Amino acid sequence: MTATSTHRRGLTMTAMVIVATLLAAILVLAMNDRASAQSGPQGTCSGDVTVTFGSEYFGLGDFGNRLMSSTPQSRTYDLPSPMPAGTWDVTAVSYDGYTGRDSISPQTQEQWYTEFLAADGTVLATSGTSADIEDSVIEAEWAGSLGSVTLAAEATTIRTVHVAPGAASVNSVRPTCIGASLQATTPELSTISVTIQHTDASSSTLTLTCGTEEQSATGRLVQLLLDDIEGPQRCEITYPTDAVCAVVVSPTEATTETITNGIAVTVPEATDVEVTITCRAADTAVTTTTLPDATATTTTTVATGNGTATTTTTVATNTGAGGTGGGAATTTTTIATQVQGQVETAPTAQAQPGTPTFTG
């Protein structure tokens, strides 16, 4: 081999090394540019309560929020404010992104769910599961609903949990945030019906007032009704108190109290209350007047002629206002006897008083 050939061969090898080095540098730069061009997690959550997990960076670092199928399988976070009891709609965002992810597949279990915990650590509710993240791309993100949860008590912390413990490590996922919105509750409403009926020919005005709602009517038979009452609600029922009325309230959970010219009824939540009032006119006052007994009349008989006996019957009579009546009848019998021209008369009995009564 000539010196010239050897020199040329050396130049060729040097050129190849230079080219390879340049290609490697270009590849590294391209990969770095590609990595630096990644956006990292972008989704946000909204609601009455929101929690953002960890840091929003691209890469395989932990960043305070990565869940693994091995360890850590779950993470616990304090809520910024307690979630009161009620039904909540939950949304979430999850992410995964790092250099080389686009060449790793399948990754079909990059999923997680959330547990809502009371202050003592009791799990109050568990959300639905997030959807899987797109494969064969360098980074991917999912945003959507985790369904709704109903809390029986106040929640103070939440826990994110990987859906597939023991799955391949490529199924790691990074929960980004959750948002929870309290559903508006529709109160269970109550009704109150009031009936007043007179057993005689009289009538009255009945008034029913619950808050700002009022109804009134007059008659011998009147029925009033108010519905859509948010209990507990205090309702006042007024009617004339110059009548004699009996009031029946059903059910007994509806408490009552006496007010001027009527009663007040407290209507419980989600309860239909019936009030029945039966009235009659008040009794008319009765006056009884007792007159004094009349004085009985007595008669003295003087014998004449041959002394024939004379009989006189006298009935005592009241003459006062209010009627007649009187004492018992008195019979006086006189036997005439001539004694030296005089007649002896038997004593005359006094009339016995009666007991007349009179109605005025």
Q: Which domains does the chain have, with CATH numbers?
A: 49-182 (2.60.120.260), 189-281 (2.60.270)
- Contact assessment for residue 304 and residue 334, using Cβ atoms and an 8 Å cutoff: no
In the beta sheet, which residues pair with residue 259? Answer: 262
pLDDT of residue 33: 41
Dihedrals φ, ψ of 251, to 5°? -80, 175
Secondary structure of residue 58 in the 3-state scheme: coil
pLDDT of residue 322: 44
CA–CA distance, 103 with 97 (Å, rounded to integer): 12
In the beta sheet, which residues pair with residue 297? Answer: none
What residue type is 45 in one-letter code? Answer: C
What would the pLDDT profile of 258-289 be if each residue is shown by its tens digit? 999 999 999 999 999 999 999 988 876 656 66
- The residue ranges of the chain whose pLDDT is under 70 are 1-37, 284-360
Instruction: Specify the pTM.
Output: 0.51
pLDDT of residue 311: 59
pLDDT of residue 293: 62
CA–CA distance, 213 with 222 (Å, rounded to integer): 18
- Measure the CA dihedral 111/114/120/124, to 10°: -130
Contacts with 44 (C-beta within 8 Å, 6 or more apart), sequence order: 93, 177
The DSSP H or E segment spanning 236 is strand 233-238
CA–CA distance, 191 with 264 (Å, rounded to integer): 15
Total count of residues recorded for the chain? 360
pLDDT of residue 296: 57
In the beta sheet, which residues pair with residue 193? Answer: 225, 274
pLDDT of residue 328: 52
